[in-house]
Amino acid sequence: MDQYAVTVLPDQRLDDEKQIAFAGLYGPLEVAPPVRSQDGGPAASRRIRHREIFDVSNLDEQGNILDLSDQRRAYSQGNQLWHTDSSFRQKSATWSMLHARIIPPDGGDTDFADTRAAYDALPEATKLKLEGLIAEHSIWHSRAQLGGYTPTEEERKARPPARHPVVRRHPGSGRNALYIASHASHIIGWSVEEGRALLEELLAFATQPRFVYTHKWRPSDLVIWDNRCTLHRATPFESRAQIRDMRRTTVIDTRVETMAS
């Protein structure tokens, strides 16, 4: 994991309990936020009982394909933007593990980009410019883009923004990594426009094909990635007719964040 940052384990016959137990070997696990009901009202019941499992599917609590108007559909659209999981939390994530239960016949791939390789390839002048910069990340920034999910006041309060260095030292490899995402809205101490322009430029640079691996899923694949040094995004599929049922467990980063040096 420290060398490659993405690991594919095929043919893993896991149920939710086993996936939670396996992920839990690597640290404390994040718990999923409450689910909003179809009309955006109070929390709906969950399809998956365990809160350590993030429901990465297009299914409602009864197991039916979500209505086009369902807010959960708008929310999950944001996964098609380049991001790293949980950068919007102050205690962000180390590894995510995504298990494929049901995959659509076409599309629904996951693209991964290596942000250490991207950092290494940056011009020296850009590396100097990035020294000491801090970005603000918010789940609501990325959700406002694709799909246009509008959070309630309660949701906003429950998930406030977080701040992280734009370049961080990846502990396992000792290499510097860009820590950016579609969750990042601006750079602290810069004008919003200037900061956003820099973040967009970095995101475009880091996701060039030469830094990207595309994973084509097979049922029962378990893919593990390191959120500290990668970006990822889902690719579209026919989500009105096909089922994609993926389940994610996410390990919380309990170490103190290390800025590049």
Report the residue number, 53 or 122, with the smaller CB distance to Fe ion: 53
* CB of 87 vs Fe ion, minimal distance in Å: 10
Instruction: Check residue 55 for interaction with Fe ion (CB under 5 A).
Output: no
Distance of closest approach, residue 245 Cβ to Fe ion, in angstroms: 16
x-or-dash string of contact with Fe ion, 168-197, rule CB under 5 A: ------------------------------
Shortest Cβ distance from residue 111 to Fe ion (Å)?
A: 11
Q: Report yes or no: 167 and 260 within 8 Å, Cβ to Cβ.
A: yes
Q: x/- binding map, residues 62-101, to Fe ion, per CB under 5 A?
A: -----------------------x----------------
Residues with Cβ within 8 Å of residue 179, at least 6 apart in sequence: 84, 87, 115, 135, 164, 165, 166, 167, 168, 228
- Count of residues touching Fe ion (by CB under 5 A): 1
> Which CB sits closer to Fe ion, 146 or 259?
146
> Do residues 54 and 32 lie in contact, with contact meaning Cβ atoms separated by under 8 Å?
yes
Residues making up the chain, counted from first to last: 261
Min. distance of Cβ 86 from Fe ion in angstroms?
A: 9
Q: Which amino acid is at 208?
A: Q
CB of 46 to Fe ion, least distance (A): 19
Nearer to Fe ion, 185 or 250 (CB): 250
CA distance 179 to 154: 28
The angle at the Cα of 221, spanning 218 to 226, to the nearest 5 degrees, equals 125
CB of 56 to Fe ion, least distance (A): 8
User: In sequence order, what are the residues at sequence separation of 6 or more whose Cβ sits closer than 8 angstroms to the Cβ of residue 240?
Assistant: 65, 68
Nearest to 235 by CA among 113, 112, 109, 81: 109
Q: Which is nearer to Fe ion, 87 or 185 (CB)?
A: 87
Interacting residue ranges for Fe ion, rule: CB under 5 A: 85
